A and B are shown apart, each in its own frame.
Chain A
Amino acid sequence: MTAVTDTPQSPLPFQSRYRKTAGGRIFVWLRTNLFASIPSSIISVLLIFVLAKALISFLQWGFWNAIWILPSDQTGPCRAIRGIGACWAVVPEKYRFILFGTYPFDQQWRPALATLIFITLFFVSSRRNWWRRELVLVWAGALALIGLLMWGGIFGLSYVSQDRWGGLPVTLILATFGLAFGFPLGILVALGRRSKLPAIRSICVLYVELIRGVPLISLLFMASVMFPLFMPDGVNIDKLLRAQIAFILYAGAYLAEVIRGGLQAVPRGQHDAADALGLSYWKKNGLIILPQAIRHVIPPLVNTFIAFFKDTSLVLIIGIFDLLTTAKTSIIDPAWQSFSVEVYVFVGLIYFVFCYAMSRYSRQLEAQARSN
């Protein structure tokens, strides 16, 4: 089990001898990192062989034999190279639909701008030195602005109803609004679960365990099929909003568990000290306990955000046009039907960029927390 050592090995006898020249340094690096022992060398050789083969066939498919641009809907050349080369031409052909769905074509600068506002908002909220109370106002303002852009209807913008929204903005809306409303809900439920009042505690436990015990899909089915049954006559809530409510409830339950972990990490003395100062329940939690609790759980919170962002793709199953649904729909077009792999790779890259940025950020925070 030489594989389990994670600390650098003791210097091997050859290391000091070769360290003088650049070539020697490369040799030392290879010797320590790839060919340190016989099993390690065998693994390296095997991996290099497999990797080279895989990489060459991928490059052949994805680059050398690939077609990047084609005149609209004449996919003959792409069909000819099916299986041998990728047909990336499907991306420039369909990207507007994949990114923005059926939003009126000449108005698509609006969802594009909304997406930009979202990204700026995430960036601003990620900076530690901008974490203060005003950030809540910034969020409220930005979300209102996004609503204004997407719906329109005033300031000379034409009205676009939400069943024409689609693509990336819908994914971002579901994720962001889900978190923005799920977070306060999660805080309340986490506090309720640790409360001394038995009735409140049991309601919170029931809510969290019920939501976490069932798959998200069944919640979405509930939102799309059962929700109308539970409403009085004449109340007809839009499908996107229903899914949004399901997401808020879902996020609330998962975030509550993360926040509860943070609450448990706050020492008992902090409660006692706050009580001794005569602070009320809400002041004690709002000013003393929660700020410390949330600071403890920022990395797992970001991980929950990532999971949540990915989970929004499940709305495909109830037919809401998020990024994954528009991607899947874009290849229904018979001319492009057989190039779904290319489209999935493109959309996968978009998801990857968002999630990777978040996971890098989470690791950075963890490193900072460790060094403090």
Chain B
Amino acid sequence: MTISTPELPRRKRQRVSLSRQQVTGLIWQIVVVGIAVAAVAWLWSNALHNLSVRRISTGFAFLGREAGMPIDDTWIAYSPKNTYLRAFIVGVVNTLRVAAIGIVLATVLGTLIGIAKLSSNWLLSRLAAIYVEVLRDVPLLLQLLFWYVLMQGLPAARAAWKPIEGVFLSNRGLILPSIPIEEANLWVIAAAVAGLIALYLLRRRLIAQQMVDGRTRHVWPYALALAIGFPALVSLALGASWTITLPELRGFNFVGGLTLAPEYFALLIALVTYTSAFIAEIVRSGIQAVPRGQWDAAQALGLRRSFVLQRIVLPQALRVIIPPMTSQYLNLTKNSSLAVAVGYQDIVSIANTTLNQTGQAIEAIALIMLVFLTISLGISLFMNWYNARIALVER
């Protein structure tokens, strides 16, 4: 009894006391956080002072004012009379449309070149290697200016190059035949997307059933019905028209068709070719990372070559390919901000104009950061999800 009572407080004291390491750790944290907070506070107070001297009001109220800035190349309705907010949305759409199309094209081109680099055909693999080396070792901005200058050097609209019927290449950009999109067409596209999703879910179920009883089930009749039949029915029911309009030259400019402005076209080419060089290297090393024995084993089982590539080699290569590919997609999106150098009005270019017009530097740059952080996060989340899906499932 007399021995056990004094032990209690001692044990308690031990629990509260910190080791020397923990004390130094705590001090370090306090010092670093203190410095960071002090620095931010100092910068912030300077900024507030400077802004009040320059009579710039902080806050995002300016977004509601009339922008008065012309934007030539838009996908959504816009006039200089619209607000800054509208201009920003136009900029975001412009950024997204160059980034999304660029990512798709760069992936296709890069994969082809990556495979070409591994070709047993000496000439093909050499050419692919030279392509990769040259594009990787010259700054993207220089390539962009180069393409833009080439675009400007193209003949005028009257003497436009016509590689095939309905396609014109001139200093007004690339003009392609187009299908006018009306409400009925949109419904048909929605039906096609819905059909594809249904098909995907159905295919998963069929495969799961096949796993259970081992009987082969054909997917193609469902594919025909859902992906082609259903949209076709919707199209007939709504009477959507799918006539292709060919652009034609009237006076000094083109009428009809889809126009890719030279700024957009130059930016797209520069982003796609530059990024494809990096993607090619990623694809090449991904395929090479799959051990040769996997090919041999699959062939020994008597599997077809295309099946081996699709089901055995690519799934394993993808595991190596996806993480660096994600960062290339992020790079392409961030690099699309070089648009400002050729006058394509993406979000950075519009924010920059806003900044010059209103002096709202902090807000404009905060908006740029917000947009890019959101896009980056979106791409990362999607790619992480995809990566987790294809990751190696070990027993």
A residues near B (Cβ < 8 Å) are: 1-7, 9, 33-34, 36, 40, 43-44, 47-48, 51, 83, 196-200, 203, 210, 213-218, 221-222, 225-226, 228-233, 306, 310-311, 313-314, 316-317, 324, 328, 340-341, 344, 347-348, 351-352, 355-356, 359
Contact = CB atoms under 8 A, between A and B. Distances in A.
Contact of A230 (B43, B341, B368): B43
29 contacts: A1-B305, A1-B309, A4-B309, A7-B292, A34-B121, A36-B120, A40-B121, A43-B121, A196-B25, A199-B33, A210-B373, A213-B376, A214-B373, A217-B338, A217-B340, A218-B337, A225-B365, A230-B43, A231-B46, A231-B50, A314-B338, A317-B338, A317-B340, A341-B146, A351-B138, A352-B138, A355-B136, A355-B138, A356-B137
Among B28, B292, B306, B309, the most chain A Cβ lie within 10 Å of the Cβ of: B28
A230 B46 contact: yes
Contact of B355 (A225, A311, A352): A225
Interface string B223-266: 00000000000000000000000000000000000000000000
A83 B153 CA distance: 9
Q: Which 5 A-B pairs have the closest CB atoms?
A: A355-B137, A33-B122, A310-B139, A215-B337, A215-B334
Given A306-B137, A344-B145, A352-B134, A226 B124 contact: no
Contacts of A200: 28-29, 32-33
B335 interface: yes
Given A340-B149, A351-B137, A355-B136, A33 B32 contact: no
Nearest to A203: B36
Interface in B106-154: 115-116, 118-124, 127, 133-134, 136-143, 145-146, 149-150, 153
B32 to A, nearest CB: 5
A194 to B, nearest CB: 14
Contacts of B51: 229
Interface of B: 25, 28-29, 32-33, 36, 43-44, 46-47, 49-51, 53, 115-116, 118-124, 127, 133-134, 136-143, 145-146, 149-150, 153, 287-288, 292, 305-306, 309, 313, 334-335, 337-338, 340-341, 348, 352, 355, 361-362, 365, 368-369, 372-373, 376-377
Dominant SS among interface residues on chain B: helix
A229 B50 contact: yes
A55 to B, nearest CB: 12
B234 to A, nearest CB: 37
A178 to B, nearest CB: 15
Given A43-B124, A216-B334, A222-B365, A316 B141 contact: yes
Given A230-B47, A324-B145, 13 more contacts: A4-B115, A4-B287, A7-B292, A33-B122, A199-B33, A200-B32, A210-B373, A214-B373, A218-B368, A232-B49, A316-B141, A355-B138, A359-B136
Contacts of A43: 119, 121, 123-124
Contacts of A359: 133, 136-137
A306 B49 CA distance: 40
A5 B118 CA distance: 7
A250 B340 CA distance: 20
B32 A203 contact: yes
Contacts of A44: 121, 123-124
Contacts of B119: 3, 40, 43
Nearest to B355: A225
A140 to B, nearest CB: 26
B123 A48 contact: yes
Contact of B365 (A226, A314, A356): A226
Nearest to B48: A229
A314 B339 CA distance: 11
Contact of A214 (B115, B118, B146, B369): B369
A47 B127 contact: yes
A40 B145 contact: no
Contact of B139 (A9, A48, A198, A311): A311
B123 to A, nearest CB: 5
A247 B47 CA distance: 22
B133 A324 contact: no
A51 B127 contact: yes
B334 A356 contact: no
B264 to A, nearest CB: 18
A351 B149 contact: no
Contact of A229 (B46, B116, B341): B46
A197 B123 contact: no
Contact of B348 (A5, A198, A217, A344): A217
A351 B361 CA distance: 33
A44 B369 CA distance: 48
Contacts of B292: 7
A226 B362 contact: yes
Given A306-B137, A341-B149, A215 B122 contact: no
A197 B115 contact: no
B69 to A, nearest CB: 17
B295 to A, nearest CB: 8
Nearest to B44: A230
Nearest to A347: B142
Among B134, B139, B341, the most chain A Cβ lie within 10 Å of the Cβ of: B139
Nearest to A7: B292
A197 B29 contact: yes
B138 A348 contact: yes
A1 B145 CA distance: 37
Contacts of A199: 29, 32-33
Contacts of A4: 115, 118, 287, 309, 313
A215 B335 contact: yes
Nearest to B341: A317
A203 B361 CA distance: 24
A218 B46 contact: no
